[in-house]
């Protein structure tokens, strides 16, 4: 490669790496695997070593990736939070060992020891303590400047707020989410139809950098401390000694650390951690080899980006060949139909894999997968097995094409793929695979508002076979329910009263309860007012629906699809028979749209209304509510202790109204 070619290639790699670093560090939404990123960075480093005249300060070989997120306060690190030099072979580990040994010999230092630790796959953070009290915490950022995430870090139970000694100390640790907690989080997000986290590292990073601490409290963050950045009034000779002290004063220290005195023991420690990798409760992406002697560390020094006294050995993703025996489809609680690869059992990274997800139709087409193919499987992020390639050279011509079903394999309802989506969904409201989720939504506060019929009770009713579809809610008896709780007769009576009361709900609540795709509370109110009865809505034409305010063709198509299903027709008949109201309690002619085109923002505490009640009133009169103030905001309804939204409204010149003003507006 000549100089001009090298220059162009280096520039190309820098641009691609910057893009993916932004996705990884700043947005917590990586588009490529860590291994692919590492290989590109290694290629860039090799080219820069060969053509050093093209090295620039903005290259990711010279700096730490990551920027300060807008909305978070900058923190300058007194001691830089550097990254580590990644290596991918034992030859590179030995090169590091020989360099350290030479430097130690030149400085008459004998018996050099090393500590080999797990490289935890999370987000690095610095914790600062004054007189033993936790005062501030920050992310690594670019190594020199990070983000103040003190309040978020305080939600992590394994971070001590008060140490066992009154000392000034700054430590560094890795914030992570355990494998088990990560799987549980993604399962819950899937049930709520929220975007899944790509991996545990990004889930942890995205959680720690949230602007709303309430969100962070619901995320199962943990931390392991692995370094003393700065300490007042104490001196240590070795890294291992530091770690023991950190444990003594109350820190949750990286649990795996192995002493090694020569290259053989270093190799052995790396292999030992690699063998344990699969059974660890937390994810790792390598092993860190550190010089133990702190005096030798000072002699070895650092570059602008990495210390010369430590390296990170990155384990290569283990890949195995196997046979794709079949592709079957499973239906999730949200109705998404997912293709699953059934493969000949193969052991990958310590686990026996017999099946794995193929995600969706587009994934199968992109990989050109056929039943009978020989495929390559690897473990992604130490947790999820994935198909990475097809061995085309082993095709015999007997392989079979796979086509995603157009009917649900569980209930037989139509399965549809909407424009712009990768997922194919079951449209049946009585599909057994979706039943639990549909029941929870039907009974929820914004839908039929059946108090007492929560997830736990619904699951018990399903387990006991007391309900098999939504309409069965209205056939429940006192004896059915009271057996679910100890001394449960009072609970049963209250629940039955709530079920009976729900029969009188306005039509808009029933429409909401059906959970029609794209039809929320507001659209349900609009539809109920316009069509007045369930039968008229069910028979509405596509044209009539699509020209309804705030409905449009996509939602109209979803509504038509829903009411065409035999399961929907069956459910409506059952609900009618049970006495559930099918009419709007508010006629379209009587509709008062005095707030049409107006957007309200609510802030502070109201004395006469909850925020939900105030929002309902605004929407009843044709208005909208928003969670943030902008130039498009019409009014800010401010109660007691109004905060930043009030300040922003005043700065933008937006009209601020009191609760009394609001009452005057709705009473006239």
The residues that are catalytic are 119
Residues 6+ apart with CB under 8 A from 187: none
Cα 426 to Cα 565: distance, rounded to the nearest angstrom: 11
Q: What b-and-e string marks burial along 477-487, b requiring 16 or more CB atoms within 10 Å of the CB?
A: eeebbbebeee
Residues 6+ apart with CB under 8 A from 393: none
Cα 638 to Cα 650: distance, rounded to the nearest angstrom: 11
Sign, Cα dihedral of 657, 663, 667, 668: negative
Number of neighbouring beta carbons within 10 Å of residue 421: 11
CA atoms within 13 A on the CB side of 290: 26
Which long-range contacts (C-beta less than 8 Å, at least 24 apart) are formed by 562-567?
562/427, 562/429, 562/514, 562/516, 562/517, 563/537, 563/538, 563/539, 564/414, 565/413, 565/414, 565/427, 565/428, 565/429, 566/413, 567/411, 567/413, 567/428, 567/429, 567/430, 567/431
Under a CB-based contact definition with an 8 Å cutoff, are residues 418 and 465 in contact?
Answer: no
Under a CB-based contact definition with an 8 Å cutoff, are residues 631 and 586 in contact?
Answer: no
Number of neighbouring beta carbons within 10 Å of residue 223: 26
Q: Concatenate the DSSP letters of all residues of 84-106 into one string.
A: -EEE-SHHHHHHHHHHHHHHHHH
**What Rg, from alpha-carbon coordinates, does the chain have?**
30
CA angle 554, 558, 559 (to 5 degrees): 115
Residue 496, classed as helix, strand or coil, is: helix
Residue 198, classed as helix, strand or coil, is: coil
Residue 629, classed as helix, strand or coil, is: coil
The single-letter DSSP state of residue 231 is E
Cα 184 to Cα 42: distance, rounded to the nearest angstrom: 35
Cα 462 to Cα 467: distance, rounded to the nearest angstrom: 6
- Backbone φ, ψ for residue 103 (5° rounding): -65, -40
């Amino acid at each position: 490669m000549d100089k001009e070619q090298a220059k162009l290639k280096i520039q190309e790699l820098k641009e691609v790496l910057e893009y993916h670093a932004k996705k990884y560090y700043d947005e917590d939404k990586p588009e490529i695997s860590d291994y692919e990123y590492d290989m590109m960075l290694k290629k860039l480093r090799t080219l820069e070593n060969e053509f050093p005249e093209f090295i620039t300060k903005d290259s990711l070989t010279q700096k730490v990736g990551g920027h300060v997120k807008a909305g978070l306060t900058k923190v300058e690190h007194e001691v830089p939070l550097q990254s580590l030099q990644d290596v991918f072979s034992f030859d590179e580990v030995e090169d590091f060992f020989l360099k350290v040994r030479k430097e130690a010999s030149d400085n008459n230092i004998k018996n050099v020891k090393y500590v080999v630790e797990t490289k935890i796959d999370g987000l690095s953070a610095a914790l600062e303590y004054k007189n033993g009290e936790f005062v501030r915490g920050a992310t690594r950022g670019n190594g020199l400047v990070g983000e103040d995430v003190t309040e978020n870090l305080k939600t992590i139970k394994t971070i001590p707020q008060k140490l066992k000694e009154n000392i000034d100390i700054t430590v560094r640790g890795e914030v992570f989410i355990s494998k088990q907690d990560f799987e549980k989080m993604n399962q819950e997000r899937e049930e709520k139809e929220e975007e899944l986290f790509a991996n545990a590292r990004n889930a942890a990073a995205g959680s720690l950098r949230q602007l709303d601490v309430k969100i962070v409290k619901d995320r199962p963050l943990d931390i392991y401390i692995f370094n003393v950045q700065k300490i007042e009034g104490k001196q240590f000779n070795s890294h291992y000694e530091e770690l023991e002290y950190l444990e003594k004063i109350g820190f949750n220290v990286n649990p795996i650390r192995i002493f090694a005195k020569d290259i053989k023991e270093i190799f052995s420690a790396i292999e030992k951690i690699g063998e344990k990798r699969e059974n660890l409760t937390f994810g790792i992406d390598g092993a860190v080899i550190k010089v133990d002697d702190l005096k030798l560390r000072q002699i070895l020094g650092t570059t602008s980006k990495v210390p010369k006294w430590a390296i990170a050995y990155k384990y290569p993703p283990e890949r195995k060949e196997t046979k794709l025996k079949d592709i079957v489809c499973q239906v999730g609680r949200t109705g998404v139909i997912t293709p699953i690869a059934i493969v000949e059992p193969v052991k990958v990274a310590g686990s026996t894999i017999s099946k794995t997800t193929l995600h969706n139709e587009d994934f199968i087409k992109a990989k050109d997968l056929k039943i009978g193919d020989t495929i390559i499987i690897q473990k992604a992020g130490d947790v999820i097995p994935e198909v990475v390639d097809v061995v085309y050279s082993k095709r015999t011509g007997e392989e079979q094409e796979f086509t995603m079903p157009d009917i649900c394999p569980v209930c037989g309802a139509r399965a549809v793929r909407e424009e712009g989506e990768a997922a194919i969904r079951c449209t049946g409201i009585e599909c057994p695979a979706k039943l639990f989720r549909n029941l929870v939504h039907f009974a929820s506060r914004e839908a039929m508002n059946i108090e007492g019929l929560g997830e736990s009770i619904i699951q018990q009713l399903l387990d006991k076979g007391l309900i098999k579809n939504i309409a069965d809610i209205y056939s429940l008896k006192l004896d059915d329910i009271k057996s679910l709780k100890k001394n449960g007769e009072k609970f049963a009576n209250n629940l039955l009263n709530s079920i009976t009361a729900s029969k009188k709900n306005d039509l808009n609540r029933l429409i909401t309860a059906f959970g029609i795709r794209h039809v929320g509370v507001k659209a349900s109110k609009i539809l109920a007012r316009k069509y007045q009865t369930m039968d008229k809505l069910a028979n509405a034409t596509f044209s009539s629906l699509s020209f309804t305010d705030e409905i449009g063709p996509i939602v109209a198509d979803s509504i038509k699809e829903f009411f065409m299903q035999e399961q929907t027709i069956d459910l409506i008949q059952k609900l009618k028979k049970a006495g559930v109201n099918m009419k709007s309690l508010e006629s379209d002619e009587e509709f008062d749209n005095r707030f049409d085109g107006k957007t309200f923002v609510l802030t502070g505490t109201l004395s006469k209304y909850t925020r939900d009640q105030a929002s309902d009133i605004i929407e009843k009169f044709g208005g909208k509510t928003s969670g943030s103030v902008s130039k498009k905001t019409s009014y800010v309804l401010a109660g007691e202790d109004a905060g930043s939204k009030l300040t922003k409204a005043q700065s933008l010149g937006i009209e601020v109204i009191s609760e009394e003003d609001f009452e005057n507006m709705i009473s006239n």
